[in-house]
Amino acid sequence: MTDEKKQAYTRRISSATRTQLITIVYDMMLDYTDEAKEALREKDDAKLRSALQHARACLDDLIRSLDMQYELSFGLRELYLFAKKQLILAEARHDGICMENAKRVVGRMREAWIQIEDTDDSFAAFDNAQTVYAGLTYGRGTLNESVADPQANRGLCV
């Protein structure tokens, strides 16, 4: 994943609600799977292995985030496990179809989660997140970001 994408995810995470955090993990998993598909086309085994490992880690985070006291969580866990198995097969077989299967499942869940996200009116999950102002300064061909109060305390709201 490029540094720009990592910075974009960091900004999204710092201002996200708990519901939006799940969507961000879906997006990250899909990005890593796209990266793996590119590595497969380039026949870069190290990049393929790394991208699929990161995609599986995203699925592991989603599995750990499930609250198993609800029946729906059992169905979601099975879908996450299916996607994870597809990524394992994709790495073992160098199979793009398995990656597509995982992407299709996660993509559909992401779409559903976006609809849930629209109904979430809770506050950001992180308290005291730094404020980023974009567009205040311009360099030649670049947009520089400024961080307000870089010494500010940051933390997860509980």
pLDDT at 135: 47
Torsion angle of the four alpha carbons 35, 106, 77, 10, in this order, in degrees rounded to the nearest 10: 60
Q: What is the CATH number of domain 3-119?
A: 1.20.120.340
Average pLDDT over residues 132-148: 56
Residue range 28-81, pLDDT digits in tens: 999 999 999 999 999 999 999 999 999 999 999 999 999 999 999 999 999 999
| pLDDT for residue 143 | 60
**What's the rounded Cα separation, in Å, for the pair 146 and 47?**
32
* Per-residue confidence (pLDDT) for residue 37, from 0 to 100: 96
Residue 157 has pLDDT above 50, yes or no: no
- The pLDDT value recorded for residue 16 is 83
Per-residue pLDDT at 156: 46
Arithmetic mean of pLDDT, 81-100: 96
What is the distance between the alpha carbons of residues 141 and 102, in angstroms, rounded to a whole number? Answer: 37
Q: Where are the domains of the chain?
A: 3-119, 126-156
Token pair belonging to 28: 């990250």
What mean pLDDT is reported for the chain? 84
Q: What is the pLDDT of residue 27?
A: 95
